[in-house]
Amino acid sequence: MAEVVGLSPQGEGIAQVEGRAVIVPRAVPGDRVEARVKGKYKGRLLAMPEQFLEMAVTRQEPPCQHFGRCGGCRWQDLPYVDQLRFKEGIVRSALEERGVNAGEFLPVLASPKPLFYRNKMEFSFATDQAGRLMLGLHLRGRFDRVFDVEECHLQSTLSNRIIRAVRQHADRAGLPAYNLKTHDGLLRFLVIRQAVRREETLVDLVVAQYPNAEVDALIAGVLEVVPEITTFVLTRHSGKAQVAVGQAQWVIKGRGWIEEECGGLVFAISPRSFFQTNPLQAEQLYALACRMGGDLQGLTVLDLYCGTGSLSLHLARTAGAVLGVEVVAEAVADARGNAQRNGIANCEFEAGPAEEVLPRLQREGRRFDRIFADPPRAGLHRKVLEALGALQAPQVVYISCNPLSLAEDLAGLQAMGYRVAAVQPVDMFPQTPHCEAVSLLVLGG
């Protein structure tokens, strides 16, 4: 018998057995379980629960029929209020374990929608053992195994209709899925992107060969039964890497991109551009980051890891001048287009890795009154951290999607003379253990 006393940063239960930490998947703090040790996970013992003797949280019936098999919504059996409470705990523990004094720790900001909140989903084609075509998501813990999605509660019901239509038409036409081992076959990915405020839908079908008359017939069949698709893009990707990007792209219907409104601004979203996947919560995230940055009137602001400029443009509405830095050149082109689209002239963008651009800006003697940073999961590069220390901006607002790198980077910034004034977790990904957080750092005391 084991009592679960904590949660790992990945959202798995942690029990203490004979002085050793044991990972217990599906368990939460306060649960008492009978569990059998199965091996090791990230250097810790892993025990699978066989029986729950006591549940600290009454589990609910998960709305999705794929719960348990799907690698996506691991927390769908937990009531949303408890998910929020546990996320707050994960962020708090990560900071405590790294010795970061969080200053004011604000309560987690709930997502406006706990279900059907995503604007982008990527589905994979595969073939089952009977040779039948499948289109769906990855099985939990298996990047190489796919199951047929009948319904997904993260994107819209329209998205579910699109998956069914593509699968049915492709199956009827006998089109083969791409085979990861032999590199034969045709169909690879189906990416669906939606603009929730503008009600636009982009479908990107990724195939191994094109032009291809059978693919044209497939798309025509799908568009006939789902006319709500506003734009349909075809991507050819013949390379071996299993990623939904390619060498060439054709716009089959519509203009090839969709437009979304966020915080009163308009953004173009093309098949490859980054846009926060929970758009309603993104509005709250940006509003919070702007609030933490305080009054920007007349100030010079740097937005590191700016993507397509969504936060930069929010900041530019009050700041004197904003510079956005982003490594993906296409995203920078989108960011410039977005600035124009919104009539914003005080925002510039530079393409390049932050770890090269920031040290150069510092060597050139550039000064910033506020620095915003929203790095990918791995957190700040060592050279970015050092340059931040040298630049000595009076305030830094740090947005993180990974509590471990958040703790590491806040500790690094503390060592550079910053004090963490406030941290607020933000739930961008309901039904999963992932948690975003916004922090304010102030130079000196």
Q: Of the residues 64, 290, 401, 435, which is catalytic?
A: 401
441 contacts 420 by C-beta, under 8 angstroms: yes
| Closest distance of CB 418 from ligand SAM, Å | 20
Can 290 be counted among the known catalytic residues?
no
Closest CB to ligand SAM among residues 265, 306? 306
| Closest distance of CB 290 from ligand SAM, Å | 12
| Closest distance of CB 373 from ligand SAM, Å | 9
Closest CB to ligand SAM among residues 204, 374? 374
As a 3-state breakdown, the chain gives helix, strand, coil percent values, each rounded to 5, of 25, 30, 40
Amino acid identity of residue 22, one-letter, is: V
Closest CB to ligand SAM among residues 210, 398? 398
CA distance linking residue 1 with residue 227, whole number of Å: 56
Q: Which residue is nearest to ligand SAM (CB)?
A: 307
Closest CB to ligand SAM among residues 355, 386? 355
What residues make contact with ligand SAM under the rule CB under 6 A?
Answer: 274, 276, 305-307, 310-311, 325-328, 331, 353-355, 374, 376, 401
Q: Cα 16 to the chain's mean position, in Å?
A: 31
CA distance linking residue 175 with residue 187, whole number of Å: 7
| Closest distance of CB 120 from ligand SAM, Å | 12
CA distance linking residue 364 with residue 376, whole number of Å: 26
Q: What are phi and psi of 400, to 5 degrees?
A: -130, 145
Closest CB to ligand SAM among residues 71, 352? 352
439 contacts 406 by C-beta, under 8 angstroms: yes
Amino acid identity of residue 239, one-letter, is: G
Closest CA to 303 of 227, 221, 374: 374
**Residue length of the chain:** 445
2 contacts 13 by C-beta, under 8 angstroms: no
Closest CA to 373 of 432, 301, 318, 314: 301
CA distance linking residue 33 with residue 17, whole number of Å: 12
| Closest distance of CB 406 from ligand SAM, Å | 12
Closest CB to ligand SAM among residues 205, 313? 313
- DSSP one-letter string for 367-412: --SEEEE---TT---HHHHHHHHHH--SEEEEEES-HHHHHHHHHH
| Closest distance of CB 297 from ligand SAM, Å | 22
User: Which residues are the active-site residues?
Assistant: 401
